[in-house]
Homo-oligomer: A and B are copies of this chain.
């Protein structure tokens, strides 16, 4: 019995695609645990499961999938104002496909490198059906500096970054939803697909909003549903002007009901929704500009509970067709 018993398929797989030198001061892949150095800050932690056939299509570009699996978690750090420090990866695969794994790792590491967020550990196993990806990401944030959901106050402006709705439109087109009222489906998909597959987490914006924003959340399940989490946590209500919500040209070209559906209820966005006092407007705009993010004021936090959605003339809008994404709905 030789020590090379460890050179089995599983371990070679990990070595080939996921082992990189550990950053200084960290113990990475290859022991029972990773060791993250003390930062003198609180550790922010977020975890997400991505399931083939539910969160992504089986034939998705593996490079995009590697990017997105990490991006959705970095987006949670952004929403807390935390600086990414490291992540771990769990990967269940139906088979070992070197080309697929290489592309997946490339997409993931490119985003990780851009954020100085090394992979420090993980677990791989064979799945019985499809690919399952589990990412847990860590960030550093001063204990009293984190952007929480519970800090919104009546009178706060409500802001969102980025245009919303592209990812939802792309998903409907990729899913073959024949009801989507667009003339040129290929052109609409080409214009929106990148938002679905390559979301850019707003980490720099989140860091710049520390000390400015009262509350923040990243939009994963739809603007209204995620804003609802801020309202519930903060014990207040809000008025949102549907037609102020920023959308791309592709979404803007949709009929009004569809446009609002995509922008207000569409998920998979990974932009930030945050509240800040009106006196911080200039500083918020500067923070966004400094970090390359577009931000738009879409409404106001109110003392009365409930979320009131109005059109550009201030008239109440009836309920949207879907309130947001519920994984078990």
A327 to B12, CA, bound (A): 12
Q: When each residue 132-149 of chain A gets 1 if its CB lies under 8 Å from chain B and 0 otherwise, what string results?
A: 101010110101001011
- CB pair A323–B1 under 8 Å, yes or no, is yes
- Residue in chain B with minimal CB distance to A72: B123
Q: In residues 101-150 of chain A, which contact B (Cβ within 8 Å)? A: 120-130, 132, 134, 136, 138-139, 141, 143, 146, 148-150
Instruction: Kindly supply a per-residue 1/0 record for chain A positions 3-43, scoring 1 wherever the CB is within 8 Å of any chain B CB and 0 otherwise.
Output: 11110111101000000000000010011111111111111
Residues of B within 8 A of A305 (CB): 3
Contacts of A88 in B (CB 8 A): 45, 47, 136
A323 proximity list for chain B (CB < 8 A)? 1, 5, 8
Please tell me which stretch of A187-195, A227-235, A276-284 contacts chain B, meaning at least 4 of its Cβ atoms lie within 8 angstroms of it. Answer: A227-235
Instruction: Check A149–B30 contact: CB distance below 8 A.
Output: yes
One of B42, B77, B232, B326 near A37 (C-beta < 8 A): B42
| A54 contact from B128, B229, B237, Cβ within 8 A | B128
Report whether A149 and B31 are in contact in the complex, using a CB–CB cutoff of 8 Å: yes
Q: Shortest beta-carbon distance, A9 to chain B, in Å?
A: 4
A303 CA / B300 CA spacing, docked (Å): 71
Q: Is the CB of A3 within 8 A of B307?
A: yes
Within 8 Å by CB of A38, from B41, B49, B96, lies B41
Q: How many residues of A contact B (CB 8 A)?
A: 95
User: Once the chains are docked, how many angstroms separate the CA of A143 from the CA of B92?
Assistant: 31
Determine the residue in chain B with the shortest Cβ distance to A230.
B3
Is A124 within 8 A of B38, CB to CB? no
Candidates B13, B32, B132, B328; contact of A49 at CB < 8 Å: B132
A-B contact pairs, 6 of them (CB 8 A): A8-B326, A27-B148, A34-B44, A36-B43, A49-B90, A54-B127
Q: Is A225 an interface residue (CB 8 A)?
A: yes
What is the minimal beta-carbon distance from A217 to any residue of chain B, in angstroms? 6
* Bound-complex Cα distance A122 to B73 (A): 12
Question: 11 more A-B contacts (CB under 8 A) besides A1-B320, A47-B134, A134-B136?
Answer: A6-B232, A30-B149, A32-B80, A34-B46, A38-B40, A47-B122, A51-B128, A54-B127, A55-B125, A92-B132, A129-B129
Docked complex Cα distance between A13 and B88 (Å): 26
